[in-house]
Amino acid sequence: MPTFVNNKNKANNNAYRPDIDGLRAIAVLLVIGFHASPNWIKSGFIGVDIFFVISGYLITKNIVGDLSKDKFEFIDFYSRRARRIFPALILVLLFSGLIGWIYLLGPEFKQLGKHIAGGAIFIENILYFNEVGYFDADAYTKPLLNLWSLGIEEQFYIFWPLFLWICWRKNTNIYICILIITIISFGLNIYETTNQHEGLYYLPQTRFWELGAGALLACFQNKEWFADKKYKKIKSFNSLSFESIKINNKIINNNIISLIGTALIAFGLLMINTKVIFPGWWALATVIGTVLIIQSGKNTLLNEYVLSNKVLVYIGLISFPLYLWHWVLLSFGKIIYVEGFTFATRLILVGISFLFAWLTYQYIEKPIRYAHKVKIRIEIIYTILALVFIFGITIYLNNGFPNRKFAKNYSLLVSAFNDWNWKEGMLEKSLSNGNTYNVTNNEEVKIAFIGDSHVQQFGPRIVKLFKEGGFKNSAFYTIPGCPPIPNVYDDKHPQCRSFISNINLFLNENPQVQKIVIGACWNCYYETEASEVTNYNNFNYYYEEKNIRYYFRDISKEGVKQSKLELEKYISELSKKYKVYLLLDNPMNDLFDPRKIIGNRLNLVDLESIKNHIPISEIQFSLNNELKLIAEKSSAFYLDQLKYLCPDNLCIRLYNGGMPVYNDDSHLRPGYVRNQVKIFDGIYPKP
């Protein structure tokens, strides 16, 4: 997100760096490109890293510059930040609340209320970190998702001035202080990346090093800060850093430094994509490249004739409101008119975001930022922001005001949102190693259901059949996100490593099992998770053999091929002892999602007028046929859900006058499964 640091004395040509505003423009254009066309600008998200470096550079330059002149005041610092950030933020938050009131369903508006409140107190990154998970909604359904980076910067602004002030007052070398924090943060970043902790992208501790890199550059450029009399006792580091390092400008001039920086950013754009775990080591190219471009100065060829171009400079000046507006408009565009969210629509929304950004900068930001009655303005701004926080909390506590006209009209859709208590009525038991599974009764287990959440979703039907006397005692050994295939893993699901061995342990400890149903979200693993992704938080499954990984997303699709062979082999082994049923997958599509069924929210229509059926995907139909062949080769039976869910190749998404069949875009809701899905009814009835 755009840095919010105000270049002091912009009128002073010696102080103002137009090339930095141009660099801001490049950064925001990369981010917008990624959001508007992720398949073309696959690494545009590195624009955020450019912003972080710029922010760390300018904020440190301003703070330590004032400290060295005994002019730094906390009140003045935070007042300038508030005048710069809060007006545009307040406007966007209120706009989001208004659009949400008109066009969002109850749970959606409740969620938005939470994020309006979080955005007002700058904790959006923490909220989104806690929301990352297997059932996390896709990014476009979160209108305030881009505020995660604002949260990191504001947390930095809260911590950084106090940290620098303490270091300065304690006569501690300011450069060493910053270096230590930067190294610690970078180390945490590498640790989190290596362990592939989900959500690390949003964590402040894994991002502060990027701001710290800019801060180190600010110190490096202002050696006079270390010449102050209070630092006479600290000479060794200064000597090492500034006196012994000599650069011969005849050999390496600033133009070369600028070009090297540009090359590093270009390298990031070419090599970084949504498949890598980011930031990690990958972010170094962008961060170092940005540092070098800033260090090269405003008079190099690139900086003076490209980055200082008037068009780029002006985009840089409006980059903050532009960053805020573009994502809000794109997100609401996808939510409100999912069927019409074409590339052309996205371009139009981006154009509107430029218009809104210009209006915000010209008529909101500038008048408040440069107002004469600063104290009055600041009090008003803080009060309004507090009211916006209360506004968001009120929405959240009132469950999104479900009696609003729009929400009330589609209340049947809302009933499906939280319908996912798949193990209701089951008991929990433990294996000898402490892992748990669920059973319909404490009797001997006769049939085992094995797989992921696409097997779990049938729990309510099995419980119903058991209680009605139509099914023998069953057990569910399932883990969401884990395919029941040996040697197939995803590093974001470390529990998958022991999944197959625990299945074998479960079968050994339940020797009365006679039949096995094995299923999974085959469409996920072999279609969605084997294609190009537009979200760097997505999973990355692979088949592993002799410590060599064959990723599902690779162009060769070798991982997919090997995993299917492994599935066939595994089912063949199970079939030697058990009667095995391979459960084929249910259809998946965005248009099954209750949140997207409306299609065009600009027109308030009755659910009866919405199509109850949609065509099945040819790819999913083809995959089903391939899995049938695997079952036949493995001496197993198959259970074809399409026979029940897609009669005549038209898949059911609404029933009984508007009740959704699905909980989201891929999971059948228990309320539907319990009474409507009869695919298992005849495989193991009680005598």
**Bridge partners (DSSP) listed for residue 448:** 475, 516
pLDDT confidence of residue 32 = 97
Question: Which two structure tokens, joined as six digits, stand for 344?
Answer: 């052309």
Q: Determine the Cα–Cα distance for residues 149 and 291; give it in Å rounded to an integer.
A: 19
For a pLDDT cut of 90, what percent of the chain falls above it? 61
Of the candidates 72, 156, 82, the residue with the CA atom closest to the CA atom of residue 120: 82
Encoded tokens for 144: 């305030």
Mark whether 306 and 166 lie in a shared domain: yes
* Number of folded domains that form the chain: 2
Measured distance between the N- and C-terminal CA atoms of the chain, rounded to whole angstroms: 65
pLDDT of residue 536: 44
| pLDDT recorded at residue 559 | 93
| 501 lies in the same domain as 385 | no
pLDDT at 592 over 50: yes
* Higher local confidence (pLDDT), 73 or 235: 73
DSSP, collapsed to helix, strand or coil, labels residue 63 as: helix
Mean pLDDT of 211-217: 95
Q: Which of 359, 313, 353, 363 is nearest to 331 (CA)?
A: 353
Give the end of a domain, one of 386, 409, 432. Answer: 409
Closest CA to 208 of 169, 271, 151: 151
Give me the pLDDT at residue 662, please: 95
Last residue of a domain, one of 366, 388, 409: 409
Instruction: Please report the pLDDT score of residue 223 as a whole number.
Output: 65
* Six token digits for residue 633: 């080769």
CA 379 to CA 14: how far, in whole Å?
A: 33
| Pair (288, 142) in one structural domain | yes
Q: What is the pLDDT of residue 247?
A: 44
Which pLDDT band, with edges at 50, 70 and 90, does 122 fall under? very high
Mean of pLDDT values over 228-237:
42
pLDDT given at position 228: 47
Are 469 and 351 contained in the same domain? no
**596 assigned to some structural domain:** no
Q: What is the pLDDT of residues 546-587, one digit of tens each?
A: 889 999 988 888 999 999 999 999 999 999 999 999 999 999
Question: How many CA within 13 A on the CB side of residue 433?
Answer: 11
If phi > 0 it is left, if psi is from -120 to 50 it is alpha, else beta; for residue 131 that is alpha
Single out the residue in 645, 665, 682 at which a domain terminates. Answer: 645
Over residues 429-455, the pLDDT tens digits come to: 999 999 999 999 999 999 999 999 999
Would 204 be classed as within a structural domain?
yes
Residue 392 near residue 101 (C-beta atoms within 8 A): no
CA-wise closest residue to 499 among 477, 521, 519: 477
Q: What are phi and psi of 39, to 5 degrees?
A: -75, -20
Q: What is the pLDDT of residue 606?
A: 77
Cα–Cα distance measured from residue 549 to residue 487, given in angstroms and rounded to the nearest whole number: 10
Question: Per DSSP, what are the bridge partners of residue 654?
Answer: 660
* Residue bearing the bigger pLDDT, 491 or 35: 35
Residue 535 banded pLDDT, cuts 50, 70, 90: very low
Query: Residues near 364 by Cβ (< 8 Å), separated by ≥ 6?
Result: 87, 88, 91, 321
**What residue type is 38 in one-letter code?**
P
Considering the domain architecture, whether residues 381 and 479 belong to the same structural domain is answered as no
When the pLDDT of each residue in the chain is averaged and rounded to a whole number, the result is: 87
Owning domain of residue 552: 414-587+616-645
Determine how many CB atoms are found less than 10 A away from the CB of residue 622.
Answer: 11
pLDDT tens column, 379-422: 889 999 999 999 999 999 999 999 999 999 999 899 898 888 99
Residue 677, domain member (yes or no): no
User: What CATH number is given to the structural domain containing 549?
Assistant: 3.40.50
**pLDDT tens digits, one per residue of 256-271:** 999 999 999 999 998 8
Contact predicate 260/222, CB 8 Å:
no
Mean pLDDT of 330-337: 94
Q: Are residues 368 and 423 in the same domain?
A: no
Average pLDDT over residues 18-46: 93
Q: Of 79-83, 85-89, 143-147, 316-320, which range is least confident?
A: 79-83
CA distance 325 to 612: 35
Residue 242 clears pLDDT 80, i.e. is over it: no
541 and 637 part of one domain:
yes
Q: For residues 148-164, give the mean pLDDT.
A: 93
Q: How far is CA 247 from CA 87, 263, 264, 285, 429, in A?
A: 44, 20, 20, 22, 69
CA-to-CA distance for 619 and 626, rounded, in angstroms? 11
Over residues 334-362, the mean pLDDT reads 94
Q: Determine, yes or no, domain membership for 252.
A: no
User: Regarding predicted confidence, which is higher, 197 or 679?
Assistant: 679
Specify the pLDDT at position 604.
83
Residue 177 lies in a domain: yes
List the alpha helices (DSSP H) in 449-557.
Answer: 453-456, 459-467, 499-509, 522-526
CB atoms inside a 10 Å sphere around CB 371: 12
Helix (H) or strand (E) holding 47: helix 47-68
DSSP reduced 3-state for 426: coil
Asked if residue 431 and residue 389 are part of one domain, the reply reads no
Q: What pLDDT sits at residue 376? A: 59
Alpha carbon distance 166, 73 (integer Å): 13
pLDDT at residue 154 above 50? Answer: yes
Q: State the pLDDT at residue 129.
A: 83
Percentages helix, strand, coil for the chain, rounded to the nearest 5?
60, 10, 35
615, pLDDT greater than 60: yes
Compute the distance between CA of residue 666 and CA of residue 681 in angstroms, rounded to an integer: 22
The answer to whether position 481 is within a domain reads yes
- Claim to verify: residue 434 and residue 372 sit in the same structural domain: no
In terms of Cβ atoms closer than 10 Å to its own Cβ (0-12, 13-18, 19+), residue 528 is middle
Strand partners, 438: 428, 476
Q: Average pLDDT in the 668-676 region?
A: 91
What are the DSSP E strand ranges found in 345-446? 427-430, 436-439
- Can you state the angle between helices 18-36 and 47-68, rounded to 10 degrees? 150
State the Cα–Cα distance between residues 110 and 113, nearest whole angstrom.
5
pLDDT tens, residue by residue, 171-185 = 888 888 999 999 999
| Among the listed residues 191, 382, 381, the one whose alpha carbon sits nearest the alpha carbon of residue 277 | 191
Per-residue confidence at 117, pLDDT binned at 50, 70, 90? very high
Of 10-24, 90-104, 126-140, 653-667, give the lowest mean pLDDT range: 126-140
Structure tokens given for 281 = 């080591």
Q: What is the mean pLDDT of residues 71-84?
A: 90
pLDDT tier for residue 2 given thresholds of 50, 70 and 90: low
Q: Is pLDDT at 84 greater than 60 in this prediction?
A: yes
**What pLDDT shows up at residue 237?**
40
Do 207 and 184 fall within a single domain?
Answer: yes
Instruction: For residue 44, count CB atoms less than 10 angstroms from its CB and return exposed for 0-12, middle for 13-18, buried for 19 or more.
Output: buried
Same domain, residue pair 75 and 101: yes
Instruction: Looking at the structure, tell me whether residues 373 and 420 fall in a common domain.
Output: no
Task: Assess if residue 553 is contained within a domain.
Answer: yes
Task: Convert the pLDDT of each residue in 292-320 to its tens digit.
Answer: 999 998 888 899 999 999 999 999 999 99
- Which range among 237-251, 345-359, 470-484 shows the weakest confidence by mean pLDDT? 237-251
Confidence bin at 534 (pLDDT 50/70/90)? very low
635 lies in a domain? yes
Q: Where are the beta strands (DSSP E) in 107-212?
A: none
